[in-house]
Amino acid sequence: MAPNKVKIQRAPLDLKKYLRPLKFMATGLVAFSLAGGILYGCYKAFTKMTLFSLKSIEVSSAKHLTRDEILGLAGLEPGKDLLRMNLKRMGEHLLQNPWVETVRINRYFPDGVSIVITEREPVAIVNMGFIYYLDKKGNVFKVLNKGDKLDYPVVTGFSEEELGNNPKGTREALEATCLLLKILREKGAFILADVSEIHYDTGYGFTLFTAAGSLPIKVGSGDFTAKIERFARIYQGLVAQLPSIHYIDLDYNDKIIIKKS
């Protein structure tokens, strides 16, 4: 060989030395996968277990909804697991019903649930194109369907368009309607039974129409108590004259105007 060339003898490559760690890693991975599978199986079995089975369901009495309707809305039935119940979601489902105003749901271990609801009560019917119930807080809450009661005062002058364009002003006017209804229900000889319709005008305020003869009684806006009490003191004396009266105007501080036909 040339003086500057050196031949190096290479030792055989020991593959076992390099494969041994891979073998241990593969064994570890198999063991880890097996343990993971066992744990997952245990988890699935645990999630299917019913630790606290529902047996007792208490439902508060309701006027417009039956017990079965309430349970159906909440999705409650005996045998369900108390731990897995989403009480918030159940309450949200119940509140979607227009009759339900508030709802409270409690669970009692080991096997009980209670549902307490308060329902809205209509005080009038509002004609807004469709006919709705109005509750005592001024909420238009339900379209009337076949079989719904109609023996409530009728409120006119409101519209769905106005409610959409001016929600704040319309809500305040509806609340004022409820206040007027409350005063009529509680005050004097002229009472709610004498009223068949309450009409609202944005510029003027309220006008009542009597059940007998549809006589207009102008009330205007505000100070309802004083106006109704003042009118109640003379109403009985006017009953015989109602057919000859064109309208009555209460929208004054200290007097009543009676316009005869």
pLDDT tens-place string over residues 154-206: 999 999 999 999 999 999 999 999 999 999 988 666 778 889 999 999 989 99
pLDDT for res 261: 80
Extract the residue ranges of the chain whose pLDDT is less than 50.
46
Please list the residue range(s) of the chain that carry CATH number 3.10.20.310.
56-119
131-139 long-range contacts, Cβ below 8 Å, gap at least 24?
134/174, 134/177, 134/178, 135/101, 135/178, 136/178, 136/182, 137/175, 137/178, 138/171, 138/174, 138/175, 138/177, 138/178, 139/174
| CA neighbor of 106 nearest in space, from 174, 65, 60, 138 | 60
Distance between CA atoms of residues 191 and 133, nearest Å: 20
What pTM was computed for the model? 0.75
pLDDT for res 178: 96
pLDDT for res 242: 86
pLDDT for res 13: 54
Note the pLDDT tens digit of each residue in 92-107: 999 999 999 999 999 9
pLDDT for res 177: 97
Q: Give me the architecture of the 56-119 domain, per CATH.
A: Roll (3.10)
| CA neighbor of 249 nearest in space, from 239, 261, 237, 258 | 258
Please list the residue range(s) of the chain that carry CATH number 3.40.50.11690.
122-260
pLDDT for res 52: 83
Distance between CA atoms of residues 34 and 23, nearest Å: 17
pLDDT for res 32: 62
Class of CATH domain 122-260: alpha beta
